[in-house]
Amino acid sequence: MSDTMADLVIIGSGPAGLAAACEARALNLSVVLLDEQSTIGGQIYRSIESAPADRIDLLGQDYASGRSLASDFRQSGTRYLGGAVVWNVSLDGTVDYVVNGQSDKIIGKHVLLASGAMERPFPISGWTLPGVMGAGAAQILLKGSGALPTGPVVLAGCGPLLYLLAWQYLRAGATIQALVDTTTVSAYLRAARRGAGALRGWRDLSKGVKLLAALRRHGVPVFSGCTELSIEGEKRAEGLSFKHRGKPVRVSASLLLLHQGVVPNTQLSWSTGSAHRWDPDQLCWQPVTDAWGRLGKTPFYVAGDSRAIVGAQASAIQGRLAALAIGERLGIVTDIARRAAPLQRLLRRHTHIRPFLDALYRPKNENRIPHAGSVVVCRCEEVTAGQIRHYVELGCLGPNQTKAFSRCGMGPCQGRLCGLTVTELIAQARGVEPSNVGYYRIRPPIKPITLGELGAVDRRIPTEIASPNREEPE
């Protein structure tokens, strides 16, 4: 493939990316969408086009709703590059990627980053043992291939996904040994102060009530307000110990699924050098954008959960709004206020409940910032919490300096899995806010690629992808 140029290059085929592509093509912009997966849908709608009917029914209506968006995307005329690993983005709109072992690039007049969310780290004792995985990863296996646990499973942590996966497992016939919820009474009281927003988002609230009712009907043991979680086992997971109402409890299991919410996947936005802020409500880094998702004065926009956690429906709306803003910058959209107004109203409706959820499912300090020094923080380089604290004693001020002390954050994941934990560990040890500590400096390659692929990058003269039936603005 030769180098090409497009009005809009989108990275990520989740709700935000698919919706943005549909909106941009309706404006007759030339659009190219790249995604690391071979099929569209992102994590939330993974395998939506190929999943059999019984699996779609099993996963629920929220998942099934992705079919219409996928269909609209396929009919939009967007050029789709699946299996494309993006390893670099440049401020001139160049996107470098590898697909099928071959390197190439594409240049976008504008680039939309729609890389979605990732599970928040859950660094507790034993979390690196075989038999322990994220609930989100388990759901990916269920969506992608219908894979189910072969034996009893324990789900532990907090957040809506924990209950959703439990409900899906029960419908599929899996056995849930226990659900260990770390949400405390104080969290419910804190969330009650955001009750007005929850009532306006009653549709989402009612879904949660139905999930809880389903667990009770099936007799699943639910332990609420649990503390001091620790995974037991020497060579593999054998059980989960915790305290419930002040008393020690142990549940035996060889498969433990941990979850305490999701956070924006910000590696791409960090790599542009754009400003990011620490959000004290969602306890994560978020890119600083304008109301349309634009990063400063760059050609980059961010939409969906990679901007801030908002959910699938709101992500799709943000994608459409970003496409309208790009259309205005290209001189195609001249009445953006009128076009955007109904989308903005819909966006407010879908985000009413967000402050309530953020307050209710705020992960506890003990599950984000490990107290025990032996707990592994950087899984790639096997750096522990105790080592990080020791580096602070030696004068380490931020995550980038930990690389000099220990290669922390320099493994294959390049800090994606440890970055938040390292920031908060250092902040706690220094007695400052995370915003005063910062994050890793993200450099290309953003994803691991081989030297052969890097050396094979084509640098031919770009040619623009034509947008049929459209006159270029002067």
- Confidence band for 3, pLDDT divided at 50, 70 and 90: low
Residue type, 232: E
Q: What is the DSSP string of 326-367?
A: HHHHTT--S-HHHHHHHHHHHHHHHHTTHHHHHHHTPPPHHH
Q: What is the model's pLDDT at position 196?
A: 75
Whether the ω angle into residue 123 lies within 30 degrees of 0, i.e. cis, is no
Give the 3-state secondary structure of residue 41: coil
On whether both 206 and 140 belong to a single domain, the answer is yes
Range of the domain at 418: 369-436
- Residue 460 domain-assigned (yes or no): no
Note the pLDDT of residue 464: 56
Tell me if 176 is assigned to some domain: yes
Query: Are residue 99 and residue 136 in the same domain, yes or no?
Result: no
- Reduce the DSSP state of residue 260 to 3 states and report it: strand
Strands (E), 150-282: 153-158, 176-181, 222-223, 227-232, 239-244, 247-252, 256-260, 262-264, 276-279
Crossing angle, helix 135-145 and helix 160-172, to 10 degrees? 40
pLDDT, residue 472, reads 38
**Which of the pair, 452 or 323, is modelled with greater confidence?**
323
The number of folded domains in the chain is 3
Answer whether residue 451 shows pLDDT above 90. no
Q: Is residue 132 domain-shared with residue 241, that is, in the same domain?
A: yes
- Quick count: other Cβ atoms within 10 Å of Cβ 272? 20
Whether the pLDDT of residue 471 is over 60: the answer is: no
Give the confidence band of 1 by pLDDT, cuts at 50, 70, 90: very low
DSSP state at residue 473 = P
In this structure, are 134 and 12 located in the same domain?
no
Residue 349 in any domain: the answer is no
pLDDT for 459 beyond 60: no
pTM for this entry = 0.93
pLDDT digits (tens, 9 = 90+) for 93-105: 999 999 988 899 9
**C-alpha span between 45 and 68 (Å, rounded):** 11
Q: Which string of b and e fits 127-166 if b means at least 16 CB within 10 Å?
A: bebebbbbbbebbbebbbeeeebeeebbbbbbbbbbbbbb
Residue type (1 letter), 50? S
Residue 441, domain member (yes or no): no
Distant-in-sequence, close-in-space partners of 75: CB < 8 Å, separation ≥ 6: none
Is the residue at 308 inside a domain?
yes
Gap between the Cα atoms of 277 and 285, Å rounded: 6
Q: Check pLDDT > 80 for residue 13.
A: yes
Helix (H) or strand (E) segment spanning residue 128: none
From 282, 310, 334, the end of a domain falls on 334
Q: Is the pLDDT of residue 91 over 50?
A: yes
pLDDT tens digits along 284-307: 999 999 999 999 999 999 999 999
Q: Which residues pair with 179 in a beta bridge?
A: 155, 222
**Exposed, middle or buried by CB within 10 Å (0-12, 13-18, 19+), for 62?**
middle
d(CA 162, CA 58): 16
For residue 64, pLDDT over 70 is answered with yes
Element containing residue 433 per DSSP (H, E) = none
Q: How confident is the model at residue 177, as a pLDDT?
A: 96
Going by pLDDT thresholds of 50, 70 and 90, the confidence category of residue 458 is low
In a domain, 431, yes or no: yes
Identify whether residues 128 and 36 lie together within a single domain. Answer: no
Q: Per-residue pLDDT tens for 356-404?
A: 999 999 999 999 999 999 999 999 999 999 999 999 999 999 999 999 8
List the single range of 184-193, 206-215, 262-271, 410-419 with lowest mean pLDDT: 206-215
pLDDT, tens digit, 9 for 90 and up, residues 138-162: 999 999 999 999 999 999 999 999 9
Average pLDDT of the chain to the nearest whole number: 92
Domain CATH number, residue 241: 3.50.50.60
**In this structure, what CATH number is given to the domain that contains residue 419?**
1.10.10.1100
Is 171 in the same domain as 286?
no
The residue among 227, 260, 293 that closes a domain is: 260
What is d(CA 166, CA 153) in angstroms, rounded to the nearest whole number? 10
Read off the DSSP letter of residue 98: E
Rounded percentage of the chain residues whose pLDDT exceeds 90: 84
43 and 20 Cβ atoms separated by less than 8 Å = no
Query: Are residues 99 and 41 part of one domain?
Result: yes
Is residue 111 located within the same domain as residue 13?
A: yes
Structure tokens at 325: 């803003």
The first and second tokens of residue 422, run together, are: 């390292």
| Residue 453 binned pLDDT confidence (cut-offs 50, 70, 90) | confident
The strand pair at 300-302 and 102-113 is best described as: parallel
Position 198 pLDDT exceeds 80: no
- Contact indicator for 122, 420 with CB cutoff of 8 Å: no
